[in-house]
Amino acid sequence: MSLPDFPVVAALEAIAACERLSAQLPHFADSLEHAAAVARRDWEGPHRESFDHRVAAADRVLRHAAGTLGVLRVRVADEQHRPR
Amino acid sequence: MTSTRCSARPDALLDCASETELIVSELRGALIAFDNTVESFVFRAHGLFAALTWTDPLWSVVRALEDLADTVAAIAMAFEAAGGRGASGRSDLISSDAATIDRWVTSASWRPTNNLQPGMAGAWAAAALGAYCHSQGDAGYDGSGFLIGPDGRSYPLVAPHVTRDGHRVNADDHLVAGQPSVLDLDGRDPGWSTIYEQIGVERWRDEPGVGGRLLAAIGSTAAGPPTGSTEQDVDAVAIAPGQAPTLRRQLTPTPVPQPSPPVYAPNAPVVPPPNVPDVLYPNGQTSIAANGMNIGPVVIDGLIGFAHADLGSHDAYDVVFQSNRDGRIRALYRRVFVGFDDSGDAELDSVYVTGPERNDQVPIVYAPRG
């Protein structure tokens, strides 16, 4: 049961937004991996190594954020049961 | 001293940069939509201040990927330059030492407008023309100054011209391979190849300070508020080698109010009033209040001029560095300005920059398309 002044519609929209973005982020990570694979063809040298580190860092954030959004979704859903 | 070798295919790196830019664009759109929804919820559930403190950590990834795309594109251009642009294709595997690539990557921050230098007439002629004498009336080069290139070399700035069918032209438009080019004086000065090219938008004059704005304000009181283009207008200019510039989108001039009419401007009557035929109009406006009201429009024009003094300070540019088989080097520095005619239509004007002074420029007439 939700509290009387709780914005239920906004909360449901926020939950849906979390789910949407959570589903999109792995695709962004996959697209980045594809772009990186295109560059890596015959690319050798120190710039390539630096590139690999930066791609890996971005990939980690994108995939980790997908999980974080799941937590955020739960928090939004939990808000309506919190005393105000 | 050891050198680290590296190799890459420029087109593969450019493809990667393009794909990454696309990812950035889509990710940005997704985050904006997400943030709007979450901010709306936080605002309704916890109030304005809670909504303001909401920050999305994913924006750091957007910035990181933007930076990554820029870096990869710069490295691609560096490999292309290291391979001798034009000597090898973008799909070729180019090997170089890492220090050379780093130098070219650094050159991405190089801007032509900061690297102009004056030159003595003899020095310019010796550098630009060498042992040749191409200025023969119907074809030749104008110039006087030099451009210090990203590689640190001093390139003479040239503005070529040829006469075709009695008309003097300075640049090609939609040049077809194998056709005579203005750049080699229709074959009179062959052997040029491009080493490096940079295309972009630049500020060609400093942002006006208070003094400059005051001068613009004073000018506006007499000539009306200035009209001119913004940096966003100039960003719509498409420049490509061997082509006249075009606009990528339709432009509308920055709205600037029309010059204010004077408050009191009565026309003299057709028939002068009796007994006072020499009366001056407007008559009777000698009070402080009336004079103050007459000054009002002048002040308004001045304020508008003050605010719009920076219009027209940007241009689109294309700078090309070339070398010749005979050892000469040169730079062609083209600027394209955006203006608006009386009906509000955008107009493009091109010039070759030939030195550091404001009048060191040659207006460009493009050759009719073949």
Quickly state the pLDDT bin for B51 (edges 50, 70, 90): low
B164 pLDDT above the threshold of 70: yes
Place A7 in a pLDDT band, splitting at 50, 70 and 90.
confident
A77 touches chain B (CB under 8 A): no
Residue with tokens 């929209």: A13
Residue B171: helix, strand or coil by DSSP? strand
pLDDT digits (tens, 9 = 90+) for B274-307: 776 666 655 445 555 555 655 666 666 656 555 5
Query: Percent of chain B scored above 70 by pLDDT?
Result: 69
Task: Give the model confidence (pLDDT) of B186-237 as tens digits.
Answer: 988 988 988 888 888 887 766 555 555 555 555 555 555 445 677 778 888 8
Q: Are the beta carbons of B20 and A35 closer than 8 angstroms?
A: yes
Higher pLDDT: B207 or B9? It is: B9
Per residue in A37-56, pLDDT tens?
999 989 999 999 999 999 99
- Rounded to 5 degrees, what are φ and ψ at B10? -55, -40
Confidence of residue B149 (pLDDT cuts 50, 70, 90): confident
Rounded to an integer, what distance in angstroms lies between the CA atom of residue B340 and that of residue B342? 7
Using a cut of 0.90, tell me whether the model's pTM lies above it.
no
Would you tell me how many other CB atoms lie within 10 Å of the CB of residue B305? Answer: 25
| Residue B108 pLDDT > 70 | no
Q: ipTM score of the complex?
A: 0.87
For residue B333, CA distances in Å to B25, B139, B196, B198, B234 come to 32, 19, 12, 10, 16
Query: Which pLDDT belongs to residue B174?
Result: 83
Mean pLDDT rounded to a whole number for chain B: 79
Element (H, E) at A28: helix A8-40
Mean pLDDT calculated for residue range B97-114:
82
Contact B6, B98 (CB under 8 A): yes
The answer to whether residue B111 scores a pLDDT higher than 80 is yes
Residue B98: list chain A partners with CB under 8 A. Answer: 45-47
DSSP 8-state code for residue B310: T
In this predicted structure, the answer to whether residue B2 has a pLDDT above a threshold of 80 is no
- The contact set of B with A (CB < 8 A) is 4-9, 12-13, 15-16, 19-20, 22-23, 26-27, 30-31, 33-34, 37-38, 40-41, 44-45, 57-58, 60-61, 64-65, 68, 71-72, 75, 93, 98, 101
Q: What is the pLDDT of residue B183?
A: 92
pLDDT digits (tens, 9 = 90+) for B243-278: 899 888 877 766 655 555 555 555 666 676 677 666
Q: Which comes out higher in pLDDT, residue B276 or B120?
A: B120
Average pLDDT, chain A: 85
Closest residue in A to B8 (Cα) is: A43
For residues B117 and A6, the model is more confident at B117
Asked whether the beta carbons of residue A11 and residue B45 sit closer than 8 angstroms, the reply is yes
Residues of chain A with pLDDT > 90, as a percent, come to 46
Given this model, what pLDDT does residue B277 score?
A: 61
Query: Torsion angle of alpha carbons B171, B173, B175, B179, nearest 10°?
Result: -60
Contacts of A61 (CB under 8 A, 6+ apart): B57, B58, B60, B61, B64
- The pLDDT confidence band at residue B99, using thresholds 50, 70 and 90, is confident
